[in-house]
Structure 1
Amino acid sequence: MLMEVLGAALLGLALSAAAVRGLEPRLPSRRVVLVSGVVGALFGAYLTHFALGPGHNTLLATFVGAVLVSAVVLSLLLRPAHGPRRRPHRTPFSLPSRG
């Protein structure tokens, strides 16, 4: 059990550090991202361990669940990219409105 907790925390930390490094302009502060990644991984490990039940102590499945939930939590922190705004798409053969 201790190995699952430590492994999940390290995986969440690594995933959130990679997110900070690659997507820093689109994320909130570094501290929020790192904490969210670790907490998401710990919750994912707990959820996977609970879902599998007492007879299935597979470390790999717990780690996969931890990484997936951590990735979902980190994806919720993303903001839209800043860039040139595109014009709204008009349907073909539509006439412009006058007002």
Structure 2
Amino acid sequence: MILEALGSAVLGLALAWAALHRLSHRLPLRALVLATGVAGALFGDFVTHSALGPGTVLVSLVGAAVVSAASLSLLVRPAGHFRRRSAPARV
């Protein structure tokens, strides 16, 4: 189980590094992104392992990757600048 947790942490770190490499201009601080990737992967592994039980290492790693990617997607900022106008201002 420790190797499973270590594997999911490495997987989350790799996903966070890939997100930083591709979307560095749209993400906050590097340390926050790396920590979110690892924490999301560990949480996803915990939830998947708790739901399915022992003996499902590959499925637990898939669950870790899904939750880590979902957590990292919450950090992405919009690409363009928004024009914030109220509805009556467009007249």
- TM-score, normalised to structure 2's length? 0.87
Question: Larger C-alpha radius of gyration, 1 or 2?
Answer: 1
More helix by share: 2
Shift of 1:58: 1.3
Q: Which of 64, 67, 73 is the matching residue for 1:66?
A: 64
Q: Deviations over 1:39-90 (max 9, x none)?
A: 0000000000001035xx111001000000000000000000036x69xxxx
Give distance in 2, aligned partners of 1:5 and 1:53. Answer: 14
2: CA distance between counterparts of 1:69 and 1:38? 10
Offset of residue 3 of structure 1: 1.1
Q: Does 1:44 align with 2:44?
A: yes
The whole-number CA distance in structure 2 between the counterparts of 1:22 and 1:64 is: 21
Q: Which residue of 2 aligns with 1:90?
A: none
Q: 2:78 aligns with which of 70, 77, 80?
A: 80
The one-letter code of the counterpart of 1:37 is G
Alignment TM-score, normalising by the size of structure 1: 0.80
Alignment of 1:1-99 (within 5 A): 1-54=1-54, 57-82=55-80, 99=91
Task: Give unmatched runs, 5+ long, in structure 2.
Answer: 84-89
Task: Tell me the percent identity.
Answer: 58
Name the SS of the counterpart of 2:75 in structure 1. Answer: coil
- Pairwise CA RMSD of aligned residues? 2.1
Structure 1 segments of 4 or more deviating over 2 A? none
